[in-house]
């Protein structure tokens, strides 16, 4: 018996130790972790002035900055999320915002804002540079954008709302922890108390993803939630979107471009207009940028305008950027001083000559000149709106490489957006083809009305044809009017046939070493284009250019105008 007792004691001890170990493992397995997450790592805070942004219910990659107690967004973030109408003048160190009736301006680094002739001060630096990066105070951005924000410290982060949709909320029914992931072993992000309200983001079997009132996003156990319901948050109501009133007409526009090569060309108005039908706007090619300082040449004539008005025509004078030497459109438009000088010159000319409108025909705009060009249109629209001057802007058919023309913004601030519905194939094209096939024309209209109200869209049609010549591997072309194109067909005894794909009469021939191809623009092809334009209910038609057409085209255009 004496020998058995030690054995029994050993067995009991083994059982006790095993039970303690097993119990410890059970406690470890089912107990809640007390480890707290590294919040600097959780929010990805990159320095003491860094402020991560929670936009709606997601942390975005962009961060704000906190300087002197003021929260700032970098300029790209302002454009991406809040309002892309802000303009940075890097040449003169200005931040601008074009309202319908005035330009808001501040010198970067200052606290003063100029709106038209009025000045006011803020109690913070409005915009500032850190290196080459421009930052704008969130409070200033809020004056021109519809959003709300709350800034939190310890650690730095901010909650931003740009939308206020219905959401699911719940009440915490017992003090608990919000964890990084759904599980009792996950690190603790923050504490929530009984009665706190949280936003419900995603429900799972035993855990729910929530956002706290101070913008921590994590998980709590379902058993800790009660009174789940739907609520509608209170939206921001102190911001009113500005209304950019338009000088649009209550009738279809039929604009014909009249090429005036010099002051003497003004005398050809009566002859050019004589064969037309339904034209109600004439656009003489009067103004061309002449240098990078904002000057332009002019063939404007008061007699021309008076004669046009006597014919019942409005005059929307054209200004281009490609007829006088090496013009750098970026240099003209990027700086506020030169841009304003050009605007003042154009508006003064419009008032001096009693013009009804200005037609901007700036082409081949480089990517870096895109924002200055759009700012130019915004700012030019202000005096045009004030004086009742119609502002129209010519645009290529929408293609990916012309997105920087920002047709959507043009459609807000300008009166008419004109599609140059031609040059599908152009001088220098690598292959022969139509100047304006019907699919090309329709896509241009459809893509434009997706961005611009149809009542502001005008589609321009070509009165010219390209005669394509292939000699060996050398391709060339020449643009000719309808009459000369018809003469070429007759001279070369070419039989044309209707091309259903292009909706044009097509002809070809071999003559010596040359192979010719022609996609004709004529009354028939123009008629199909006008039918498409009527289908989309756009504002009207423009024609490039007077003198290139045959008389029968005007009957087709008149029919469109009468619809």
Determine the pLDDT at residue 26.
44
Residue 216, domain member (yes or no): yes
Determine the pLDDT at residue 7.
60
Integer Cα distance of 472 and 82 in angstroms:
56
Residues 202, 56 within the same domain: no
Instruction: Please give the residue range of the domain that contains residue 147.
Output: 42-157
Q: For a pLDDT cut of 90, what percent of the chain falls above it? A: 93
Residues 138, 196 within the same domain: no
Residue 204, domain member (yes or no): yes
Say if residues 355 and 316 touch (Cβ distance below 8 Å): yes
pTM equals 0.93
Residue 13, domain member (yes or no): no
Residues 150, 172 within the same domain: no
Q: Closest Cα to residue 419, out of 560, 293, 532?
A: 532
Residue 1, domain member (yes or no): no
Mean pLDDT of the chain: 95
> For the chain, what percentages of helix, strand and coil (3-state, to nearest 5) are there?
30, 35, 35
Choice among 2-11, 344-353, 524-533 with the minimum mean pLDDT: 2-11
Determine the pLDDT at residue 325.
87
Residue 398 clears pLDDT 80, i.e. is over it: yes
Determine the pLDDT at residue 6.
64
Residue 336, domain member (yes or no): yes
> What is the DSSP pairing of strand 504-511 with strand 207-211?
unpaired
Q: Mean pLDDT over residues 390-405, rounded?
A: 96
Residue 412 clears pLDDT 90, i.e. is over it: yes
Residue 89, domain member (yes or no): yes
Residues 193, 341 within the same domain: no
Determine the pLDDT at residue 3.
64
Determine the pLDDT at residue 20.
47
Q: Closest Cα to residue 130, out of 48, 53, 47, 65?
A: 65
Q: pLDDT digit string (tens) for 283-337? A: 999 999 999 999 999 999 999 999 999 999 999 999 999 999 899 999 999 999 9
What is the total count of domains within the chain?
Answer: 3
CB-based contacts of 22, cutoff 8 Å, min separation 6: none
Q: pLDDT digit string (tens) for 226-249? A: 999 999 999 988 899 999 999 999
Q: Closest Cα to residue 178, out of 197, 163, 154, 160?
A: 197
Residue 496, domain member (yes or no): no
Residue 27, domain member (yes or no): no
CB-based contacts of 310, cutoff 8 Å, min separation 6: none
Determine the pLDDT at residue 478.
98
Residues 365, 433 within the same domain: yes
Structure tokens at 131: 């290196």
Q: Which of 157, 174, 207 is the last residue of a domain?
A: 157
Residue 192 clears pLDDT 70, i.e. is over it: yes
Say if residues 490 and 482 touch (Cβ distance below 8 Å): no
> Which pLDDT band, with edges at 50, 70 and 90, does 266 fall under?
very high
Determine the pLDDT at residue 236.
87
Q: pLDDT digit string (tens) for 490-519? A: 999 999 999 999 999 999 999 999 999 999
Determine the pLDDT at residue 15.
65
Say if residues 50 and 144 touch (Cβ distance below 8 Å): no
> Which pLDDT band, with edges at 50, 70 and 90, does 8 fall under?
low
Count of residues making up the chain: 563
Residues 277, 354 within the same domain: yes
Determine the pLDDT at residue 30.
64
Integer Cα distance of 153 and 293 in angstroms:
49
Q: Which helix (H) or strand (E) holds 303?
A: helix 302-310
Residues 276, 343 within the same domain: yes
Residues 420, 540 within the same domain: yes
Q: pLDDT digit string (tens) for 110-166? A: 999 999 999 999 999 999 999 999 999 999 999 999 999 999 999 999 999 999 999
Helix (H, G, I), strand (E, B) or coil at 539: coil
Residue 204 clears pLDDT 90, i.e. is over it: yes
> Which pLDDT band, with edges at 50, 70 and 90, does 382 fall under?
very high
Q: For a pLDDT cut of 70, what percent of the chain falls above it? A: 95
Q: Which helix (H) or strand (E) holds 477?
A: strand 474-481
Integer Cα distance of 432 and 519 in angstroms:
9
Q: pLDDT digit string (tens) for 21-64? A: 544 454 456 689 999 999 999 999 999 999 999 999 999 999 99
Residues 227, 364 within the same domain: no
Residues 327, 401 within the same domain: yes
Please report, for residues 275, 348, 394, the alpha-carbon distance to residue 307 in angstroms, rounded to integers and kept in the order given. Answer: 16, 20, 25
Residues 191, 301 within the same domain: no
Determine the pLDDT at residue 25.
53
Q: Mean pLDDT over residues 191-201, rounded?
A: 98
Residues 225, 259 within the same domain: no
Structure tokens at 350: 């419009």
Q: Which of 200, 231, 262 is the last residue of a domain?
A: 231
Q: pLDDT digit string (tens) for 451-470? A: 999 999 999 999 999 999 99
């Amino acid at each position: 018996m004496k020998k058995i007792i030690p054995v029994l004691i050993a067995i009991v001890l083994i059982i006790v130790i095993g039970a303690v170990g097993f119990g410890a493992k059970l406690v470890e397995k089912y107990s809640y972790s007390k480890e707290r997450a590294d919040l600097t790592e959780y929010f990805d805070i990159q320095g003491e002035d860094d402020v991560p942004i929670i936009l709606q219910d997601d942390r975005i990659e962009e961060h704000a900055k906190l300087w002197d107690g003021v929260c700032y967004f970098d300029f790209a973030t302002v454009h991406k999320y809040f309002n892309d109408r802000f303009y940075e003048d890097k040449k003169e160190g200005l931040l601008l915002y074009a309202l319908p009736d005035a330009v808001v301006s501040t010198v970067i680094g200052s606290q003063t804002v100029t709106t038209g002739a009025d000045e006011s001060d803020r109690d913070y630096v409005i915009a500032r540079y850190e290196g080459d990066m421009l930052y704008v105070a969130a409070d200033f951005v809020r004056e021109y954008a519809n959003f709300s924000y709350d800034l939190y410290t310890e650690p730095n982060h901010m909650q931003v709302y740009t939308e206020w949709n219905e959401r699911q909320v719940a009440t915490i029914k017992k003090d608990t922890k919000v964890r990084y992931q759904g599980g009792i072993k996950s690190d603790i992000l923050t504490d929530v108390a009984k009665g706190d309200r949280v936003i419900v983001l995603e429900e799972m079997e035993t855990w729910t993803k929530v956002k706290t009132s101070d913008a921590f996003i994590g998980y709590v156990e379902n058993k800790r939630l009660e009174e789940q319901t739907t609520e509608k948050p209170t939206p921001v109501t102190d911001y009113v979107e500005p209304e950019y009133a338009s000088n649009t007409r209550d009738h279809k526009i039929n604009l014909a471009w009249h090429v005036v090569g010099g002051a003497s060309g003004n005398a050809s108005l009566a002859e050019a207009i004589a064969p037309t039908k339904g034209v109600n706007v004439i656009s003489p090619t009067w103004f061309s940028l002449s240098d990078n300082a904002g000057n332009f040449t002019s063939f404007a004539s008061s007699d021309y305008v008076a004669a046009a008005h006597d014919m019942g025509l409005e005059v929307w004078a054209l200004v281009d950027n490609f007829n006088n030497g090496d013009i750098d459109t970026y240099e003209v438009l990027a700086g506020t001083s030169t841009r304003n000088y050009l605007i003042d010159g154009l508006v003064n000319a419009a008032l001096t000559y009693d013009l009804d409108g200005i037609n901007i025909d700036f082409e081949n705009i480089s990517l870096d000149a895109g924002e200055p060009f759009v700012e130019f249109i915004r700012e030019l629209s202000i005096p045009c709106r004030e004086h009742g001057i119609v502002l129209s802007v010519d645009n290529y058919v929408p293609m990916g490489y012309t997105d920087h023309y920002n047709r959507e913004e043009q459609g807000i601030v300008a009166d008419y957006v004109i599609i140059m519905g031609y040059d599908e194939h152009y001088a220098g094209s690598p292959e022969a083809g139509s100047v304006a096939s019907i699919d090309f024309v329709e896509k241009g209209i459809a893509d434009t009305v997706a961005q611009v109200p149809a009542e502001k869209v005008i589609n321009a049609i070509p009165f010219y044809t390209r005669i394509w010549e292939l000699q060996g591997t050398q391709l060339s072309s020449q643009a000719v009017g309808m009459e000369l194109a018809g003469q070429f067909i007759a001279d070369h005894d070419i039989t044309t046939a209707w091309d259903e794909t292009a909706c044009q009469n097509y002809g070809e021939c071999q003559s010596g070493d040359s192979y010719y191809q022609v996609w004709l623009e004529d009354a028939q092809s123009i008629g199909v284009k006008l039918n498409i334009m009527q289908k989309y209910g756009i504002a009207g038609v423009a024609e490039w250019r007077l003198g290139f057409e045959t008389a029968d085209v005007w009957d087709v255009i008149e029919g469109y105008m009468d619809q």
